[in-house]
A and B are shown apart, each in its own frame.
Chain A
Amino acid sequence: MTLSDLFPTLQPFVAHLVEVWPAYDIKANFAIWEVFHIVSVLTLGGASALVSLRILGVGLVERPIEETYRGVSRLIAIGLVATTISGLLIGMANAERLYDSAAFLAKFIALIGGIVLSFKVLGPVALNETRSATRLWAGLGLGLWALSVLVLATGGLVTPGLLHVLSAGSLIVLVAVQGRARWLYGAGCLAILAAMSVATNLLFKPEDMASIDMANIVLSGVWFVWVLGFAVVRGRAIMKDGGPSTFAQTIAYSQILVWVTAAAGGRWIAFA
């Protein structure tokens, strides 16, 4: 699914965008604006990930969650504004290509979902000020993230980009899980990756793409269940110790992964 599938009548407008100021100026210096966008995303991603990881019992655990959030909230706001502005500007300068890209649509939806989760939900969750409006915003943010994952999953050549989301999720769980469970979990992840490698390189011939695809889909599903299972077990342990609720933990995971989805979508624009 692409923007051109959803809004085919916009084609002339999109084709004209690059002739509008500031798009032609940005196109001439595209690399610099691209770097500005990457730095904005990593500012936002890094600052908000610290809060989310703290909710999951990782990082600045000696300090209250509120203190971590207050310490980086300005960075989150600056990152959000810079990401949105730079994203819109480089999008304008490259509009025709993005209009036909499933990876861009996934990135665009994830970006909006990420803004909702980082700006309207993470703060109240970190400050323990969750109200019904927060839950409504959370529903919207999570829905948009799910939609972006769906676009990526059904996007044909860009679908492998989903592996970034899965591997990022598995790494978050790896740092969140503690004790012997971490070794078991890590060994399971490595075994699944080894099985993927064997299936794609040894078990099936390179031209048998249908079988390779099926093996990757099945093993990715197994990996997802493995990661989710350990996340749930760890989540229960956190709550047992008087830590954040299931809702707060869900927001913490999704708030990081929505930005990973946006970054993965952004990178896969160049590949397919």
Chain B
Amino acid sequence: MGSLNFWGLLEGTHLISLMLFAGVMLVIDLRLMGVALKTIPNSVITRRLLPLVLGGFAIMVITGVALFFAKPLVYYHNIWFRLKIGFLVLAGLNILWFHLVLHRHQDQWDAQERPPTAVRLSGLASLTVWLLVIIMGRFIAYNWYECGKPQTAFINQVQACATSEQGAVAIEVAQP
């Protein structure tokens, strides 16, 4: 596993662990929304599938952190990376909301094929936020808004381009 292929192996493992994590998470979210596996209680799904989700998440985080440290400054000044971290925080808040508020009354809706609106909304929020994490993660590979390229002040500000090696280059506005 020399360094020649290490990047590829890390990134590939990151993608495949994402398949495990997000693929199973999708099913859990769809159950919360009353769309898939409707005959199986939510508690059974959570108890049995959460270890798989956590396993996938652990591999994803380990490989993700290793990938970050390969090019920390590039990622630090990347708008998609910043958005990805933002959506990860939102996903965490949704998990907190679910466990602190909705989970307390789970015995009332556990076996319902169509759980209450708040539970279905939590499932939808989780699904949406994780999809956005994936989308932002894929967009990191594209250099559309790389620091050093002429772009709007807003983008330069959001990416903190002024402190990057390439600096902030403002887009030239045509004078009337």
Contact = CB atoms under 8 A, between A and B. Distances in A.
Interface of A: 31, 34-35, 38-39, 41-43, 45-47, 49-50, 53, 58-63, 67-68, 71-72, 74-75, 160-161, 163-164, 167-168, 171, 175, 196-197, 200-201, 206, 209, 212, 216, 259-260, 263-264, 267-268, 271
B173 interface: no
Contacts of B142: 31
A161 B15 CA distance: 12
Interface residues of B, number: 39
A164 B12 contact: yes
A203 B52 CA distance: 36
The secondary-structure label for the interface of chain A is helix
Given A35-B138, A71-B39, A42 B49 contact: no
Interface in B138-157: 138-139, 142
Which of A35, A46, A58, A209 is packed against the most chain B CB atoms within 10 Å? A46
Interface stretch (B16-24, B94-102, B117-125, B160-168): B16-24
A168 B9 CA distance: 12
Contact of B16 (A59, A61, A168): A168
A102 to B, nearest CB: 14
The secondary-structure label for the interface of chain B is helix
Closest A-B pairs by Cβ, 10 of them: A46-B23, A71-B37, A160-B5, A271-B8, A42-B23, A267-B12, A45-B19, A200-B2, A42-B19, A45-B23
Nearest to A54: B48
A74 B24 CA distance: 15
Interface in B8-53: 8-9, 11-13, 15-16, 18-20, 22-27, 30, 36-40, 44-45, 48-49, 52
